[in-house]
Amino acid sequence: METITLSAPKHIWNSISNLIRSLWITLKLMTYNKVGFLGFLLVVALILFSTVGPYFVKLDTTVKVDQIYMTPSAQHWLGTDHQGRDVFSQIVHGGYEVLEVGLTAATIAVVIAVTFGVLAAFVGSWVDDTILAITDFIIAVPQFAFLTVLAAIIHINSMLLLAAILGLLNWPALLRTIRAQALSLKEREFVEAARALDLGTPHIIFREIVPNMMSYIVISFSLATTYAIYQQVGLILLGLVPFSGNNWGVMLSKAWVRGAIFYKGSFWYIMSPVIAIALLQLAIVTTNRSIEQVYNPRLRTDM
């Protein structure tokens, strides 16, 4: 009778162990830059705040005319809005959509830029000319004017649709820089060796060239996220993308429409989403310092 060995769980456990070890090493490397690591911790905290927080803090939707524009107190940590609703609960529930649009738009933009930027540099010839022509055309189109016209034609009633539109508009500048780096890398010995072994274009692009640009790609992703966040908040604030959901941009839009700036007690209602957005942007940007530590050993001065 044959003995059946259960080796799959062991392989799974080894994979999990290797993943945990890699994450631990990455976190350790990120600590070499204290400011960057603090930014990373703040990013994690804001993500947890926006994703897990709504399960513990109930959104205040009750209109209380006797508590309009109250200042911060033990009952209302960030005061109340124009209808007497708790501002802190709106901040907790308003971050998820902002992160969703920012991360989704950045992912789309980076994937397009990396794929076609490296492809243009590696293949060259008419492929390079065609991709650059399309890139130049999209760069030449004024984005805000285009989005204004698009908002009049298409009813943008979904955050994912907004993220897709922003992602499809934000890749050209990044593609040009990715292409420039790929042009340099394609002349390296390891790429020439892969060509000599006839490993194929997809293998050379995604296994040889792209991994050597990961530092720049990750940093570009974080910057693309901040840019997409600014775009969505600006569009919502200007009323080009009308949304009635819970969003830091919607909070600013409502504060502007309701004339909150003219009320003495509305300071925290206006500034709370502004501070939340600014903290998120600052955390993402400063995290880039630690990301550089992970990918550039020369920056680690006290190994």
Q: How far is CA 196 from CA 122, 182, 193, in A?
A: 14, 18, 5
pLDDT-based confidence at residue 202 (cuts at 50, 70, 90)? confident
Check residue 244 and give its pLDDT: 62
Residue 187 main-chain phi, psi, to 5 deg: -95, 0
Residue 289 has pLDDT above 80, yes or no: yes
Residue 155 has pLDDT above 80, yes or no: no
Check residue 291 and give its pLDDT: 84
> How many other C-beta atoms are found inside a 10 Å radius of the C-beta of residue 284?
22
Residue 1 has pLDDT above 80, yes or no: no
Residue 303 has pLDDT above 50, yes or no: no
Residue 8 has pLDDT above 90, yes or no: no
Encoding tokens for residue 98?
Answer: 């902002």
Per-residue pLDDT reduced to its tens digit, 52-97? 999 999 998 888 888 888 888 888 889 888 888 899 999 999 999 8
- Biggest alpha carbon–alpha carbon distance for the chain: 85
Sign of the CA dihedral running 244, 245, 250, 254: positive
Measured at the CA of 227, the angle between CA 224 and CA 228, to 5 degrees, comes to 85
Written as one letter, the residue type at 9 is P
Are residues 108 and 167 in contact, defined by beta-carbon separation less than 8 angstroms?
A: yes
Written as one letter, the residue type at 37 is F
Average pLDDT value for residue range 276-294: 89
CA dist., res. 263 & res. 15, Å (int): 58
Check residue 279 and give its pLDDT: 94
Per-residue pLDDT reduced to its tens digit, 127-148? 889 999 999 998 888 877 787 7
What are the start-end ranges of the H helices in the chain?
A: 8-30, 34-51, 87-123, 125-140, 143-153, 159-169, 172-185, 189-196, 201-203, 214-237, 248-257, 267-295
* Domain spans, the chain: 45-299
Per-residue pLDDT reduced to its tens digit, 214-247? 888 888 899 899 999 988 888 888 777 766 667 8
Check residue 112 and give its pLDDT: 93
Encoding tokens for residue 216?
Answer: 């720049």
Encoding tokens for residue 184?
Answer: 């340099």
Three-state SS at 242: coil
Bridge-partner residues for 80, per DSSP? 86
Check residue 109 and give its pLDDT: 94
User: What is the architecture, at CATH level 2, of domain 45-299?
Assistant: Orthogonal Bundle (1.10)
284: left (phi over 0), alpha (psi -120 to 50) or beta: alpha
CA dist., res. 240 & res. 250, Å (int): 12
Average pLDDT value for residue range 158-184: 88
Check residue 281 and give its pLDDT: 92
Average pLDDT value for residue range 269-289: 91
Are residues 14 and 254 in contact, defined by beta-carbon separation less than 8 angstroms?
A: no
Share of the chain above pLDDT 70, in %: 92
Q: How far is CA 50 from CA 22, 53, 89, in A?
A: 27, 6, 11
Residue 6 has pLDDT above 50, yes or no: no
Are residues 166 and 235 in contact, defined by beta-carbon separation less than 8 angstroms?
A: no
Mean pLDDT of all residues in the chain? 84
Which carries the bigger pLDDT value, residue 71 or residue 17?
71
In this predicted structure, which of 69-73, 161-165, 202-206 has the lowest mean pLDDT? 202-206
